[in-house]
Amino acid sequence: MRREIPLVITSVVGIAFVIQYFIPHSPFDRFEQLFSDWFFIIAACAIWLGALNLLKLSIIKIQKKKKDWQYAVIIVASWLAMAIAGFAGGRDFQIPGTGFDWLYVNIYTPLSATMFAILAFFVASASYRAFRARNVQATLLLLAGFLVMMGRVLFDDILFGPFVQDFTPLSDISSFIMNYPNLAGQRAIMIGIALGTVSTALRIMLGIERSYLGGGD
Partner 1 sequence: MGFWNKMLMIDRRWIFLLVGLSLLIPMFLSSDFKLSISDEVRGIFDAMEKLPPGSRVLMTFDYDPPSAPELQPMADAAVRYCFKKDLKIIIMGLWPQGPQQAEMSLQRAFEVPEIAAKNLQYGVDYVNLGFQAGNEFVIQRMGTDFKEAFPKDVRGTVYEDIPMLKNVKNFSNVDFVFNLSAGYPGTVEWVQIAADRFDVLLGAGNTAVQAPLAYPYLGGGQLVGLLGGMRGGAEFEKVTGFKAKATTFMLSQTFAHGIVIFFVVIGNIAYFMTRGRQE
Partner 2 sequence: MKTSTLLALLLLLLTTSAFGIIVDEDTTDSISAPVSMVTEEAVRPQPALNVIGKDTPNDNGGSIQVSWDLSPDDAKGMVARYDVERKPVGAPDSQYEVIGDATAGGTSITDNYPESGKSYVYRVAAVNFAPTVAGGKVEVTSFSAESAPAKASAQWFNTNRTVVLIFAIVLGFLILWYIAQAKAGKELFIRRIAGLEAVDEAVGRATEMGKKIFYIPGTQDMENIQTIAGVTILGRVAKLAAEYETQLDVPVSRSLVMVTAREIVKEAYLNAGRPDAFNEDMVHYLTDDQFGYAAAIDGMVVREKPATMFYMGAFYAESLILAETGNSIGAIQIAGTAMPAQLPFFVAACDYTLIGEELFAASAYLSKEPKLLGSLKGQDVGKGLILVVILIGVIIQTLGVYDVQSLLNIVAE
Which residues would be at the binding site for partner 1 (CB under 8 A)? 32-33, 36-37, 40, 109, 112-113, 115-117, 120-121, 123-125, 127-129, 131-134, 142, 145-146, 149-150, 152-158, 161, 166, 168, 171, 175, 178-179, 182-183, 186-187, 190
Q: CA 141 to CA 2: how far, in whole Å?
A: 51
Nearer to partner 1, 134 or 203 (CB): 134
Q: CA 178 to CA 202: how far, in whole Å?
A: 34
Q: How far is the CB of 24 from partner 1 (least distance, A)?
A: 10
Nearer to partner 2, 16 or 159 (CB): 16
Residue 178 contact, options partner 2, partner 1, none, Cβ 5-8 Å cut-off depending on partner type: partner 1
Q: How far is the CB of 161 from partner 1 (least distance, A)?
A: 6
Ramachandran angles phi, psi of 126, nearest 5°: -70, -40
Q: Is 72 within 8 Å of 61 (Cβ atoms)?
A: yes
Nearer to partner 2, 111 or 164 (CB): 111
One-letter amino acid of 53: N
Q: How far is the CB of 104 from partner 1 (least distance, A)?
A: 9
The residues, ordered by sequence, that sit 6+ positions from 93 with a Cβ below 8 Å of its Cβ are: 85, 86, 87, 100, 101
Nearer to partner 2, 170 or 205 (CB): 205
- Radius of gyration, alpha carbons of the chain: 26
Q: CA 74 to CA 54: how far, in whole Å?
A: 12
Residue 196 contact, options partner 1, partner 2, none, Cβ 5-8 Å cut-off depending on partner type: partner 2
Helix extents (H) in the chain: 4-22, 31-63, 69-88, 99-103, 109-130, 136-151, 155-159, 169-179, 181-205
Q: CA 182 to CA 116: how far, in whole Å?
A: 25
Binding site for partner 2 (CB under 8 A): 18, 21-26, 29, 39, 42-43, 46-51, 53-54, 57, 67-68, 71, 111-112, 115-116, 118-119, 122-123, 125-127, 129-131, 186, 189-193, 195-204, 208-209, 211-217
Q: How far is the CB of 201 from partner 2 (least distance, A)?
A: 6
Q: How far is the CB of 158 from partner 2 (least distance, A)?
A: 26
Nearer to partner 2, 93 or 167 (CB): 93
DSSP character for 26?
Answer: T
